[in-house]
Structure 1
């Protein structure tokens, strides 16, 4: 009888130990699934400082340039119209767009702490998709603004008034956040049972789907439809707008008039082709053998260089912005005073 009791106790103890080991393994697997490792920039200590400094300069230039454009449009009454209202939205968006990913890159580059929790990864992906979607809608709204200004100039104050511009911007922001919410919720329900190494410098949806061991057929189908609605359709509307614009401009007889009309569109066209060109190469081109390096390079151009270039495009090629900048800083008055003091009066 005593031997039977000891055997039962031993079996119970062995069962408890087995269940504990299974529970510990499950907890370890669950913990591993809730972590993601960013390995886009493998660096050695010699190049680490150079890379950190370069990324920091790009980030500061993007933030400063877009902040200057935003403040100028807010303060200069001459820039209080529909076109500059949309440019102001684009500048605010670019500051948000680059701030979603680049500060984390700086932390990883400086400290080598490349681990993101599941919640951090999904949150970063959510804001990245949202800002990218909103930018697509804002650029389409800007192309429509240019179409009305050139093709229907007499109706421009009536069509592109402050109320219509406000609702265009509001719809762009709302649709972007709602669409991103749908994709983020679907992604958060996926299982990740592999080594969660992301070969990019942020939590990109494309990279996360590669890591998932769940069936991603549904979300892949939704993404395909989403790319058409959010990407291809707005881009087609932009191209159609500029087809009408070019047709109307070519009908202008004076060379000066054609040059003025085209100069009002070149800044926007540059931004459109930079944004959509990079996005199409990143998300529409099939994966190649060197796709990891290509994706990281294109992603960096997409999220860092374009927000830095946009304010340069809109300031250096825009006389109204340069005029507002000189007026706010008082540079024009100082320049005139210096000219008066330097140039002597003729007797």
Structure 2
């Protein structure tokens, strides 16, 4: 009897040890030596996914993974996509990752005021996207960060950027104030693109919008340098001073050579610039010039403006720029 009792105890301890080893194998550190991504294809079963994980070194054995998954993993299906598995991830956590659909997200960021040629450059350079895409229409993209997964098409990504712009402009237009000079959403977009390029200071956007709105009401040329540069570079940096001949050129964009708005946007304006032209600041200003701090000083009259220009020249001379 004593021998049978000892044998029973040994078997019980062995069973406990076996359970511990199983649990440890399922929930303990896995064999993956470094962070790695694995693509789980559309229509994959848990069996095919397990094979992919074994090949990638995420799990030690596909067959054992499937057995443990049946015992411990529940019935929730896995989801297709690209997954980023951390080094030493447990088999349990690997399954949870796939069941939760927490796929690897990549991003393309479009800063406010980027022209469409730069948007195109960024989309074409983004890794793991499929296909090619033409340069989007200027002003058709809403600046933001856009996530994508491996295998998404560049065309679908640009379409999401454009759909976001359409939704935002439609919503902003519905809330426009009577003080806006924009008669259409396209005019709002064109004016917003100029405001975007003229100031990077959020606190100034509505005042810059007011200056250009006041000029449009009076039939004055906008005289915005960015509109002169746009047909030369399509939004890329000019890298030099504007030539006198370029200030005199008539091309549909040069607001020194004509009154009114240019024929199209000169960049992709952000939300704040769109909002600014649809609700400009209550200001009579018609002019502005740099103030030396990254912002601008505004003036209602040409006399005030000329005095402000002289102060700006003095700042530049003190810096050795003139």
**Global fold match (TM > 0.5):** no
Shorter-chain TM band? under 0.3
Give TM-score, length-normalised by structure 2.
0.22
**Greater share of helix:** 1
**Greater share of strand:** 2
**Looking at both structures, which has the greater relative contact order when contacts are Cα pairs under 8 Å and sequence separation is at least 6?**
1
- Bigger radius of gyration among the two: 2
